[in-house]
Amino acid sequence: MFKKVVSLALIAVLSMGVLTACGNDGANDTVFKIGGIGPLTGGAAIYGIAVQNGAQIAVDEINAAGGIGGVLIEFNMQDDEHDAEKAVNAYNSLKDWGMKILMGTVTSRPCIAVGVHSKTDNLFQITPSASSADVVKDNDNIFQVCFNDPNQGIGSAQYIGQVGVTGNDGNLVSNVAVIYDSSDVYSSGIYERFVTEAANQPFSVVATEAFTEDSNTDFSVQLQKAKDADAQLIFLPIYYTEASLILAQAAAIDYFPVFFGCDGLDGILTVENFNTDLAEGVILLTPFVASSPDAKTQAFVSEYQRLHDEVPNQFAAGAYDSIYVIKAALEQSNAVPGMSVSDLGDALKLAVTQITYSGLTGENMTWLPSGEVNKAPKAMVIVNGIYVEL
Amino acid sequence: MEKIPKIWRENLITYGMVIIAYAVMQILISFGLVSRLVQGLLVPLCIYVILAVSLNLTVGILGELSLGHAGFMCLGAFAGAFFSKVTVDAITFSPVRFFLAILIGAAVAGLFGFLIGMPVLRFRGDYLAIVTLAFGEIIKNVINALFVGLDSNGVHFSLSDRAALGLLDDGDVIINGAQGIIGTPQDSNFTVGVLLVLLTLFIVMNLIRSRDGRAIMSIRDNLIASESIGIHVTKYKLMAFSISAALAGVAGVLYSHNLNSVAASPRAFGYNMSIMILVFVVLGGIGNIRGSMIAAIVLTLLPEMLRGLDRYRMLIYAIVLIVMMLFNWSPKILEWRERHSLRELAGRLRGRSKV
């Protein structure tokens, strides 16, 4: 009987939660309510927390400077545990809160799931880092601040083919190997387009080796195959944790090709217990460089370090830019907080294609109505432990 | 009420709870009293209730520990989503398409439950748990490596990458490896979910009360004794296991048609998910169908209701889970509850009034 009373009490408490969350529609006419969604717990939490921190810095800066046309921003970041279903829950929870604009989601798969709902609501959504091409496909309300995966793959192949990379033997690279994570959307997305584009370029792909998230610690087989195929360059469209292992294991078998990666490699110099000498000469196409002398970047990096005691990565920088892009679009469209979600969505969708924004992750960025960003990729090489622009 | 047999009455209470919950929610929604978060959670709640009830068939009724339930859900999700994606233009009437998708999802998951059950059900207890865990992971990993495309020449398969499919220009990738299936029609809704919950309850509760169900429970209670009276142990084990798998497949179809994409990610279909479903069953009471329903609902709502706690959310959730487990199953607390129950209190009051 006691159990029944407790379960009834529990049901009552839960139904209170069911019923209370819908009375705050009128209160958001005085601020812009911007929601954020990303993994704050679980395996992908480092990306979500970086985005949360980066965005919060931008929000605080804007509010301290008097807001957008005198209107302050309220920012609320919700956890999606890097799961599509939880991301939709987070989205609905933010809608209950009164969100008018969404900065997120951080990762691609949840972003695709949330996109269906934000499209129905015609809610303006800008993602700092969900780079899959499927994120913006068929969704005219979603915009990306990051390069999408296919463009990174094509960009990398064109860079190696057109600009040319000098191998460690002094000759121009002609044999390329690829090691990628077949269980990861980001990695396989870049890999597919890289290989397709490589067919049009004056180098040949001599080995393509895959691993999965269940086998991401031992790369000796893949490296040996690349070595046997005489690859002078290894293309690594992967994240930096695995890349640091690959670099160490290649050195262990006396194999020193040029390593070439995308924005996922950013952060490789911060891996614990990693001999950063091995990263010398690594080339990466990345939009954000924490050591850049640029004043805006330096201000952001020092503020981030002051608050969180670590060097921000490209996720944090992308989120910072996303908030400022929202600000620029709001100013362009003369939007006011009292507008409905859909009206604001229409206004911002148009405005974002009219602005040109220069920030931490790119100069003179513009957006296509399809949602893709238009910016020049930056190729960096690591020399003496810092990124140098090529 | 007296004329209705007790078993029927118990079953009617269970159906009644679902129907009343459905009616109350619909009324609240029509008055605009339900937040969007909760409206979005209604279909997932149905999914987890179906999963918990179906796993209870294996764990509570058959008495075997299975840690691969999410694997069967995954199979159902992909089979159903595959069918819907291929036929989305051919069958434009979505209820029919969704009905067929559910049948296909259930059939595929049930078939694999049968195939996997044949070798696996020779094990018992811990061994069975480990083998089902492994099978669940195999299902997830194979789907992660699978590329399937469709063009005018027919269906193409590959286990390496998208380019190896060799699709023509008119072709479309259906299953894109680890990226899964993107663009399934969103056919799931609360009404269908509740109907499927009722169907699951109907199947499971009728099975328990049937001759076959009594045979299954006799295997749980004493394997040797039931063998000695001529019960075909393998047949009944397989029956319970594959029905349980097929129902998990139904939940999977509901899952993949609730979101517009499905991927065999560890978060959605890994062993963590299997263990989560097992937690529903254990918390609700092994063999207690109504209990697993309530546990599934409470444990799915809880982390969402705790969103206000920000980063401490999952920590608090874990602590609440421990407290609930202790409260429900710790012998000392059961004893304490017995002493402080309302019935006891009522009895004491009655005793006092007599004096």
Asked if the Cβ–Cβ distance from A7 to B261 is below 8 Å, we say no
Domain-located, residue B186: yes
Domain boundaries, chain A: 24-147+295-374, 150-286
Which of A1, A107, A120 has the most B C-beta neighbours within 10 Å, making it the best mutation to test the interface with B?
Answer: A1
Q: Is B3 exposed, middle or buried (0-12, 13-18, 19+ CB in 10 A)?
A: exposed
Asked if the Cβ–Cβ distance from A213 to B266 is below 8 Å, we say yes
Q: Please tell me which residue, B71 or B9, carries the higher pLDDT value.
A: B71
Q: pLDDT by residue (tens digit) across A295-344?
A: 999 999 999 999 998 888 889 999 999 999 999 999 999 888 889 999 99
> How many Cα atoms are found within 13 Å in the side-chain-facing hemisphere of A17?
19
- Which residues in A lie closer than 8 A to residue B320 (C-beta atoms)? none
Provide the pLDDT confidence category of residue B194 given band limits of 50, 70 and 90.
very high
Q: pLDDT by residue (tens digit) across B210-219?
A: 999 999 999 9
Query: B232 and B91 in contact (C-beta within 8 Å)?
Result: no
**pLDDT for position B183:** 86
- In this prediction, residues A152-172 reach a mean pLDDT of 85
Asked if the Cβ–Cβ distance from A22 to B307 is below 8 Å, we say no
d(CA A121, CA A4): 41
Asked if the Cβ–Cβ distance from B263 to A14 is below 8 Å, we say no
Least CB–CB distance from A3: residue in B38, B145, B337: B337
Return the closest-CA partner of residue B328 out of A3, A14, A11. A3
Give SS3 for A34.
Answer: strand
Q: pLDDT by residue (tens digit) across B16-70?
A: 999 999 999 999 999 988 999 999 999 999 999 999 999 999 999 999 999 999 9
Give SS3 for B89.
Answer: coil
What one-letter code names the amino acid at A158?
Answer: Q
Residue A93, min C-alpha distance to chain B (Å): 5
Q: Residue A26: which H helix or E strand, with range? A: none
Residue A178, min C-alpha distance to chain B (Å): 13
What one-letter code names the amino acid at A181?
Answer: D
Provide the pLDDT confidence category of residue A12 given band limits of 50, 70 and 90.
low
Domain-located, residue B114: yes
**pLDDT for position A11:** 55
d(CA A7, CA A15): 12
Asked if the Cβ–Cβ distance from A7 to B294 is below 8 Å, we say yes
**pLDDT for position A292:** 80
> How many Cα atoms are found within 13 Å in the side-chain-facing hemisphere of A321?
30
d(CA B299, CA B301): 6
Domain-located, residue B19: no
- Which residues in B lie closer than 8 A to residue A1 (C-beta atoms)? 341-343
Asked if the Cβ–Cβ distance from B141 to A212 is below 8 Å, we say yes
State whether CATH 1.20.120.160 applies to domain A150-286. no
- CA dist list (Å): B117 to B110, B122, B245: 10, 8, 10
Q: What angle do CA A18, B25, A79 make, to 5 degrees?
A: 40
Query: Could you tell me which chain B residue has the CA closest to the CA of A12?
Result: B298
Return the closest-CA partner of residue B336 out of A312, A153, A3. A3
**pLDDT for position B355:** 47
**pLDDT for position B85:** 92
**pLDDT for position A79:** 92
Query: B149 and B172 in contact (C-beta within 8 Å)?
Result: yes
- Which residues in A lie closer than 8 A to residue B163 (C-beta atoms)? 192, 195-196
**pLDDT for position A275:** 86
Query: A232 and A174 in contact (C-beta within 8 Å)?
Result: yes
Domain-located, residue B177: yes
Asked if the Cβ–Cβ distance from B34 to A22 is below 8 Å, we say yes
Omega before residue A41 within 30° of 0, cis: no
Residue B305, min C-alpha distance to chain A (Å): 7
3-state helix, strand, coil in chain A (%, to 5): 45, 20, 35
Is B108 a residue whose pLDDT tops 60?
Answer: yes
Q: Which residue has the tokens 């009375």?
A: A23
d(CA B212, CA B240): 9
- Which residues in B lie closer than 8 A to residue A78 (C-beta atoms)? 307
Residue A377, min C-alpha distance to chain B (Å): 25
Alpha-helix runs per DSSP H in chain B: 6-30, 36-56, 69-87, 94-120, 125-145, 190-209, 211-221, 223-228, 233-256, 266-269, 271-284, 289-305, 313-329, 331-339, 342-354
- Which residues in B lie closer than 8 A to residue A9 (C-beta atoms)? none
Residue A291, min C-alpha distance to chain B (Å): 30
By residue range, what is the domain housing residue B158? 44-290
Least CB–CB distance from A85: residue in B145, B178, B259: B259
| Domain count across chain B | 1
Query: B102 and B96 in contact (C-beta within 8 Å)?
Result: no
What one-letter code names the amino acid at B32?
Answer: G
**pLDDT for position B57:** 95
**pLDDT for position A25:** 46
Which of A185, A194, A197 has the most B C-beta neighbours within 10 Å, making it the best mutation to test the interface with B?
Answer: A185
- Which residues in B lie closer than 8 A to residue A136 (C-beta atoms)? none
Query: A143 and A367 in contact (C-beta within 8 Å)?
Result: yes
Q: Please tell me which residue, A19 or B38, carries the higher pLDDT value.
A: B38
Query: B207 and B24 in contact (C-beta within 8 Å)?
Result: no
Bridge pairing between strands A258-261 and A283-285? parallel
Q: What is the DSSP string of A232-263?
A: SEEEE-S-HHHHHHHHHHHHHTT---EEEE-G
- Which residues in A lie closer than 8 A to residue B39 (C-beta atoms)? 92
- CATH second-level architecture of A24-147+295-374? 3-Layer(aba) Sandwich (3.40)
Least-confidence region, from A25-29, A151-155, A225-229, A288-292: A25-29
- In this prediction, residues A263-285 reach a mean pLDDT of 84
Provide the pLDDT confidence category of residue B281 given band limits of 50, 70 and 90.
very high
Q: pLDDT by residue (tens digit) across A336-388?
A: 888 999 999 999 999 999 999 999 988 889 999 999 998 887 788 888 888 88
Interface ipTM: 0.86
Residue B226, min C-alpha distance to chain A (Å): 35
Is A22 a residue whose pLDDT tops 50?
Answer: no
- Which residues in A lie closer than 8 A to residue B255 (C-beta atoms)? 85
Q: pLDDT over 70 for what percent of chain A? A: 93
d(CA A246, CA A240): 10
Q: pLDDT over 70 for what percent of chain B? A: 98
Q: What is the DSSP string of A140-194?
A: TTEEESSPPHHHHHHHHHHIIIII--B-TTSSBP-EEEEEEETT-HHHHHHHHHH
Provide the pLDDT confidence category of residue A26 given band limits of 50, 70 and 90.
very low
